[in-house]
């Protein structure tokens, strides 16, 4: 098989992967899960209190959900919200339909025809949402910073 492998094997990548796996094994995953749920609850509660914010999905039953939340700010295009967050607040989010078009279309209650109108109308914009997600490094202060940013955006840009 060696004759079919081009170049030098990625030894550094293997060492980095082993180191990362050892680090993951040393973490208290139950504690991380508990922290993620606290952050998500804080995020959802804050977004629900923010004027003009529409959250998508089932956020009443979050016990088995991941640290991901999708939303929009009424009257502000999702791409614009993402750009404002990045440029004015240094906060990175995803926007669009996240390679899940049929699911997002259902969440937004759009027909396929309505969802694809932008293809035929140069004035139309592609529908989408904003997705915020947590990593193991996020904390409550960062959630508060994010919520303050969304609150400002909903009040001053909407």
Q: What is the pLDDT of residue 42?
A: 96
- For the segment 106-115, the average pLDDT, to the nearest whole number, is 93
pLDDT over 90 (residue 9): no
Q: What is the pLDDT of residue 19?
A: 96
Give the C-alpha separation, 33 to 136, whole Å: 9
Q: In sequence order, what are the residues at sequence separation of 6 or more whose Cβ sits closer than 8 angstroms to the Cβ of residue 139?
A: 39
What are the residue ranges of helices labelled H in the chain? Answer: 11-26, 29-49, 78-89, 101-107, 112-115, 117-120, 140-156
Give the C-alpha separation, 23 to 53, whole Å: 38
Q: Categorize the per-residue pLDDT at 59 as very low, low, confident or very high, splitting at 50, 70 and 90.
A: confident
Question: Do 109 and 145 meet the contact criterion of CB atoms below 8 Å apart?
Answer: no
- For the segment 22-43, the average pLDDT, to the nearest whole number, is 93
Q: Mind listing the pLDDT tens digit for each residue in 117-137? A: 998 998 899 999 999 998 889
67-to-4, 24, 93 alpha-carbon distances in Å: 42, 18, 13
Q: Mind listing the pLDDT tens digit for each residue in 132-148? A: 998 889 999 999 999 99
pLDDT over 90 (residue 3): no
Dig out the tokens for 158 from the structure: 């909407």
| CA 106 and chain centroid, separation | 18
Q: What is the pLDDT of residue 6?
A: 75
Q: What is the pLDDT of residue 86?
A: 98
Q: What is the pLDDT of residue 25?
A: 93
Q: What is the pLDDT of residue 82?
A: 98
Q: Which of 66, 132, 76, 130 is nearest to 104 (CA)?
A: 130
pTM listed for this prediction? 0.84
pLDDT over 80 (residue 158): no
Dig out the tokens for 98 from the structure: 């996240």
CB-CB neighbours of 130 under 10 Å: 23
Give the C-alpha separation, 150 to 65, whole Å: 22
Give the C-alpha separation, 91 to 84, whole Å: 9
């Amino acid at each position: 098989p060696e004759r079919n492998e081009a170049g030098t094997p990625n030894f550094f990548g293997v060492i980095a992967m082993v180191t990362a796996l050892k680090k993951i094994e040393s973490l208290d995953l139950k504690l991380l899960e508990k922290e993620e749920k606290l952050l998500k609850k804080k995020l959802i509660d804050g977004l629900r209190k923010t004027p003009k914010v529409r959250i998508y999905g089932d956020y009443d039953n979050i016990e088995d959900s991941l640290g991901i939340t999708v939303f929009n700010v009424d009257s502000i295009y999702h791409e614009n919200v993402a750009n404002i967050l990045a440029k004015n607040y240094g906060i990175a989010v995803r926007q669009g339909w996240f390679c899940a078009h049929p699911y997002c279309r259902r969440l937004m209650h759009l027909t396929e025809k309505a969802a694809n109108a932008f293809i035929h109308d140069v004035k139309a914009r592609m529908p989408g949402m904003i997705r915020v997600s947590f990593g193991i490094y996020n904390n409550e202060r960062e959630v508060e910073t994010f919520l303050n940013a969304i609150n400002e955006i909903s009040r001053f840009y909407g």
